[in-house]
Structure 1
Amino acid sequence: MISRLKPPNVKVLSLTTVASPHRGSAFADYLMETIGSSNLTRIYAAMESFGLETEAFAQLTRNYMNNNFNPKTPDLEGVRYFSYGASLDPTFFSIFRPSHNIIKRLEGALNDGLVSVPSSKWGVYKGTLVGVSHLDLINWTNRVKWLFWSLTGKKRKFNGVAFYLDIADMLAKEGL
């Protein structure tokens, strides 16, 4: 929207991204290679029957982001860009353990189960959220885990609402 659509009467001052795959995801690469183009149509049809979007998979590959999207979507002068990454050391039962391991093997990088820290860096990098999964970032975490933690006296390590309020505070302090 900022550099390609450029809507009239809208002045964008900044963009802050959180664990966004600016350089693509090795997990998307893996899925596309594993599924193969011959099976892709059937899998997309099955996913769409459940109301799930499908176009993003191909558009999240490292090749697409680096050779198509990023060259066509340059940063706009006058806009300040900030980014955050996230890393996770998944437990044995974590839904992100397989994808985390694939990204670690293919990129050799810390990741949140879907996006590596190097891929999430854009503009001024504000830091890496440690022990946070890609779903934690949208406050959509396993409620069973939270229940177990509350029963054992452990507390949540990440509060998505507080994090995004901190981002708003940071932007206000930057005059944005």
Structure 2
Amino acid sequence: MISRLQPKNIDILSLTTIATPHRGSAFADYMFDQIGPKHVPRVYRTLESVGFQTGAFGQLTRAYMRDEFNPRTPDQLGVRYYSYGASLDPTLWSVFKFSHDVISRLEESENDGLVSVESSRWGEYKGTLVGVSHLDLINWTNRIKSLVWRSMGWEVNFNALALYLDIAGKSIPSSIEGLRKC
């Protein structure tokens, strides 16, 4: 929106991204390699038949981001860019164990199960959220994890809503424990 639509009625001062694949994801590359170009349309149709939207999948590859998206979407003068990454050390039963290991092997970088810390870096890097998965960042696992962890007497150390409010500058007490400044 900032560099391509260039809205005239909005004064954009900054953009903050969180675990955004600015340089694509090695896991997307891996999946496309495994599926093969011949089978991609069939996989898309299958995913769409159960309600998944597939339009952006091809845009998550490292080649697409490097060769197409980033060159066509330059940073704009006067806008400050900030970014955060996330890293996870998944357990054996984590939904992200396989994808995390693929990204670690192919990119040799910490990652949140879908996006590497290196791919997340854009503009002024504010730090890495440690022990946080990509689903934690969009608050999909926060409620269930909080309920289970609290019932077991464990402390929950990440709250996605508090993070976003803190970044937006709202004055609420927030705990962003595990943020490693880089």
TM norm. shorter chain > 0.5: yes
Partner of 2:46: 46
Q: C-alpha separation between the residues in 2 aligned to 1:144 and 1:16? A: 27
Q: C-alpha separation between the residues in 2 aligned to 1:33 and 1:15? A: 32
Listed one character per residue, the Cα deviations across residues 106-141 of structure 1 (whole Å, up to 9, x for unaligned) are 001000000000000000000000000001001110
Q: C-alpha separation between the residues in 2 aligned to 1:157 and 1:142? A: 10
Q: Which runs of 5 or more structure 1 residues have no equivalent in the other structure?
A: 171-176
Q: C-alpha separation between the residues in 2 aligned to 1:36 and 1:57? A: 14
Partner of 1:173: none
1:75-94 to 2 correspondences below 5 Å: 75-94=75-94
How many residues matched?
170
RMSD: 1.3
Are 1:60 and 2:60 matched, yes or no? yes
Range 4-13 or range 85-94, more displaced: 4-13
Are 1:23 and 2:23 matched, yes or no? yes
Residue 151 of structure 1: how far off its partner (Å): 2.4
Range 129-138 or range 147-156, more displaced: 147-156
Using the size of structure 2 for normalisation, the TM-score is 0.90
Query: Which structure has the higher relative contact order (CA within 8 Å, separation 6+)?
Result: 1
The one-letter code matched in structure 1 to 2:141 is: T
The one-letter code matched in structure 1 to 2:134 is: H
Is contact 1:32-1:57 (8 Å) kept? no
Aligned-pair identity in percent equals 64
Q: Which runs of 5 or more structure 2 residues have no equivalent in the other structure?
A: 171-182
Partner of 1:157: 157
Q: C-alpha separation between the residues in 2 aligned to 1:157 and 1:91? A: 17
Listed one character per residue, the Cα deviations across residues 39-69 of structure 1 (whole Å, up to 9, x for unaligned) are 1111100111122111211101000001110
Are 1:3 and 2:7 matched, yes or no? no
Q: C-alpha separation between the residues in 2 aligned to 1:84 and 1:37? A: 33
Residue 162 of structure 1: how far off its partner (Å): 0.8
Partner of 1:97: 97
As a proportion of its length, which structure holds more helix?
Answer: 1
Query: SS at 1:37's partner residue?
Result: coil
Residue 14 of structure 1: how far off its partner (Å): 0.6
Using the size of structure 1 for normalisation, the TM-score is 0.93
The one-letter code matched in structure 2 to 1:124 is: E
